[in-house]
Amino acid sequence: MAVRIGNKGRKKVVDKVIKGLKKASKLHAGQAKSLDPKKIQSKNRKKTVKKVIKGLKKASKLHAGQAKSLSALKLKKGGKVKKKKSKKKSGSTPTNPALYSRVKAEAKRKFDVYPSAYANAWLVRTYKKRGGGYR
């Protein structure tokens, strides 16, 4: 299931994943150093290996989450993010656009704050009084 998010949201997701991967690469480098046979003493070997195993399990969960968030992004060939197709506006459309624009201009002159709920209510009422309708 793809998540629909804007370009800023996509950038945030990708930046978050990059940050997590950089942190994980430092962690994995440290784990590799701690498993170096020359540096581990025989009495601490079991404890060190258990610690690394625990860290790797945690990292695998983190990477699974990162993979899931990246796969939710729809990417084009070349790694660019696909733009969302704009949907047609839902809602009513005036049957007489010329009359509607005249009444709307009148509403903008009449009210200090436009758009507002009060001004739009007046617009609809006046437009219908003058013979307009909606589809």
71: three-class secondary structure by DSSP: helix
pLDDT for 129: 96
- pLDDT, position 1: 43
58-85 mean pLDDT = 67
Whether residue 103 contacts residue 122, with contact meaning beta carbons closer than 8 Å, is answered with no
- In this model, does residue 101 exceed pLDDT 90? yes
Q: Which residue has the tokens 């009444």?
A: 103
For position 105, what pLDDT does the model report?
A: 95
Whole-number Å distance between alpha carbons of 52 and 64: 18
Query: Is the pLDDT at 94 greater than 70, yes or no?
Result: yes
Whether 38 has a pLDDT exceeding 70, the answer reads no
Q: What is the mean pLDDT of residues 36-44?
A: 66
Structure token digits, residue 89: 């506006």
